Amino acid sequence: MNVRRRTQPAYPMIVALGVGACVLALLSGCDKSKDDATPSATLSSSVPTSFDPCHGIPADVLAAQHLNADPRPIPDNTGGPIDKYKGCDYTSQDAYQAERGPGITVRVTNVTMPYFVTNSQPQHQFQISGKDVATARAAGTNYCATLIAIHGGGIELSTSNSQADPCQVLVDLATGLAPTLPPN
């Protein structure tokens, strides 16, 4: 006796498996955990008070960086919509202006490290004396900004310099300043 089995075409089964695989991929790919999320752009509504940018840098640190000890206050931005700051400009000593630039702006700000990383896209992130530090140099310019993380925000250093690497000038100052800062 010749028994012939009737087989179902494989096509519907392949389609069903394909659809199932697609649904599984979609479901697993759409569930983002909080760890994968972009850092929050929410900043404190006030500037940290743990550091005074006009009087908080020790004289020996200023001298080592060839900065004058009589800073010029810059207008506060404490009512801004997002980032807020208070700060001072420190001029370079006359003999060092050609080498190290005209000076450095030091601001205490509500800008946090996650916010700085997201918005400034720093080229380097590292630690100095246990403090998180990041440097961001604007492409094609001699401008650099460095953020030292502190509780409630950060200390932002910035300079423009045509001779020396502006980011290195700021890292030199951060290296002297970070050990003197209060713990986070």
- pLDDT tens per residue across span 56-93: 999 999 999 999 999 999 999 987 778 899 999 999 99
Q: Is residue 91 part of a domain?
A: yes
Q: Is the pLDDT reported for residue 102 higher than 50?
A: yes
Q: How far apart are CA 104 and CA 106, in angstroms?
A: 6
Q: Is residue 31 part of a domain?
A: no
31 C-beta neighbours (distance < 10 Å), count: 7
Q: Is residue 167 part of a domain?
A: yes
- pLDDT tens per residue across span 121-144: 999 999 999 999 999 998 889 999
Give the global pTM. Answer: 0.76
Retrieve residue 128's tokens.
């100095």
Q: Is residue 1 part of a domain?
A: no
Q: How far apart are CA 94 and CA 67, in angstroms?
A: 9
Q: Is residue 148 part of a domain?
A: yes
Mean pLDDT of 10-26: 35
The domain tally of the chain equals 1
Segments forming the whole domain that contains residue 70: 59-180
DSSP characters for 62-113?
HHHTTB-SSPEEEEEE-S-SS--EEEEEEEBPGGGHHHH-SEEEEEEES--H
